[in-house]
Structure 1
């Protein structure tokens, strides 16, 4: 590999790391804070941000804080497009039947990521979960479902997982496994406020939806 190629790879890697930091930060980042987290000079961080702004990948707020731009949102709509299309009607059906926010959660190699959501149409109030939200696979019902798919020996699979007050404070979640092509780890889940509900019934609704999504992708239960 030539020096110019190495330099280009390093620049690309640094740019991708910067976008990841901006997107995953729990608090807004300034350019100076981004530079500190990347371990680079502030002038280099400004050049990175300026390039991102030119392409619509990052927006700088009047306060100076950075957030991901609309261009990335447009690209995200095409991520796993066939999976999202197959899941959409079934997530909507789950959401309307249970009057809860339904989620399609996948594994990105490091964490559980909410790929798409559906909110009930006939509900006075709903709980929102933004697509792209990430959380560790050790936390939350969807994460633990994915963890059991990655390491079934250490974490044997259950019919469903439930969690309370973990990923989102004050909310409950129930999740079931989703079979995808090439055995990619995934889960179908719902989130809802603390209520005394029949978790087995919720899990059955989710399992039916999961099977229908898999069938739409040409996958049959093993």
Structure 2
């Protein structure tokens, strides 16, 4: 009589799956965090896995549209990463969209909802005004270091003060806004207003970008009104 097949202990199976998932997530973070992209050999070396294993993980992540392979053979983050990020902030984005539209048109400037992810500021939503013949814009999902630009200072100002923090962050916390010139993009004026992290669920800000200094300076009160309107929509 045939003996029943003995299945491996559940814990062993779960551990094996977890290890594969953990490696995949490690590779995803590694590649997505390298704007210049990485080749298969580089991924294998950094992740400490065999080239064949790296190739399989990379192809799986590409099939999921989380990574893509460029013409140069290097792997980079793909648009699917932004979809995942956006879904994590669904309520915040839904509340922000009408606010961004209204105030972008009122100010005649591009506005963005920017949040903190690790040590970077990422643009979740970017809204250009519908009127006017000229305006500055930038891509959703674009990132820059938190220690640069009005948005980075405002996001840090939405958090409790920390020892040795940048004086510009302290000033933004006291005044309710941050303003910079040319820190992220040459020739660009940035204005940002911190959002209440407790209400938004994440350190965030509303950001205005323009080539006109007088426009940024004149927009402080209105952008603060926009921030309060967004917070009210989330309560």
2:79 counterpart of 1:79: no
Aligned to 1:190: 208
RMSD of aligned Cα (Å): 2.7
SS in 2 for 1:135: strand
2:154 to 139, 145, 164: 145
SS in 1 for 2:208: strand
2:30 counterpart of 1:21: yes
2:227 counterpart of 1:210: yes
Larger radius of gyration: 2
Instruction: Give unmatched runs, 5+ long, in structure 2.
Output: 1-10
Aligned to 1:96: 105
Task: For residue 82 of structure 1, report the CA deviation from its aligned partner.
Answer: 1.1
Aligned to 1:53: 62
Instruction: Give unmatched runs, 5+ long, in structure 1.
Output: none
Q: In structure 2, how many angstroms separate the alpha carbons of the residues matched to 1:51 and 1:38?
A: 16
Decide whether the 8 Å contact of 2:190 with 2:208 is kept in 1: yes
2:43 to 34, 39, 43: 34
The structure with the largest helix share of the pair is 2
2:76 counterpart of 1:67: yes
Task: For residue 189 of structure 1, report the CA deviation from its aligned partner.
Answer: 0.7
CA deviation digits over 1:61-88, x for unaligned, max 9? 3432323345444434423111101111
